[in-house]
Amino acid sequence: MSETTIVWKKCKKCRKLQHPDHLRCIQCKNTTFDTVKSSGDCKLLTYTILNAPPSEYRDKKSYTIGVVEYSNGLKAIGQIISSENLKIGMKLTSKFQKLTENLDGKEIFGITFKPT
C-alpha cells in the first residue's frame, strides 16, 4: 500500500462503500467487492481532542481524532496532525503512515489527516 492511498471496498451488488475488513457486505451479504481508493482530499465530519490516551499512546499527552468523508462518499477515522483551528467541514489531506508502537514494540500503521 502506498503512503497516501487508502483502499476501501465497494459491494459489486448493492454498491455500498465499506471498510475492507468486511468479508460479506454489511448491507446485502454479497461476497464480491470492487476496490475503491481514496482521493487524498477529504472534509472533516467530526473530531475530538483526547487528553487521556490509552496506554499504546502513552508517549503522547494528547492527540486529535477525526472522522472524514472523501468526495466519493467514503468515510474514515484517523488522527489529525493538528489540534488548532479545526472546523467541521474544513478540507484535509490524508496519509497512511506509522502511528506508534504497541505494548509489544510492534509498529502500528494508520491514517492521518492534515489541514490543507
Using CB under 8 A as the binding rule, whether residue 70 contacts another protein is answered as no
CB count in 10 Å sphere of residue 54: 7
| Contact with another protein (CB under 8 A) among 40, 53, 82, 95 | 53
Using CB under 8 A as the binding rule, whether residue 26 contacts another protein is answered as yes
Q: Give the amino acid at 16.
A: K
Q: Which single residue is written with the C-alpha cell 481524532?
A: 65
Using CB under 8 A as the binding rule, whether residue 99 contacts another protein is answered as yes
Using CB under 8 A as the binding rule, whether residue 82 contacts another protein is answered as no
| Contact with another protein (CB under 8 A) among 18, 82, 93, 97 | 18
* Contact residues for 29 (Cβ-Cβ < 8 A; gap 6+): none
| Contact with another protein (CB under 8 A) among 36, 67, 81, 90 | 67
Strands 107-115 and 41-50: unpaired
* Contact residues for 14 (Cβ-Cβ < 8 A; gap 6+): 25, 27, 28, 30
Cell numbers describing residue 47: 473530531
Using CB under 8 A as the binding rule, whether residue 98 contacts another protein is answered as no
Using CB under 8 A as the binding rule, whether residue 58 contacts another protein is answered as yes
Give the residues lining the site for another protein (CB under 8 A).
18-19, 21, 26, 45-58, 63, 65-67, 75-79, 88, 99-100, 108-111
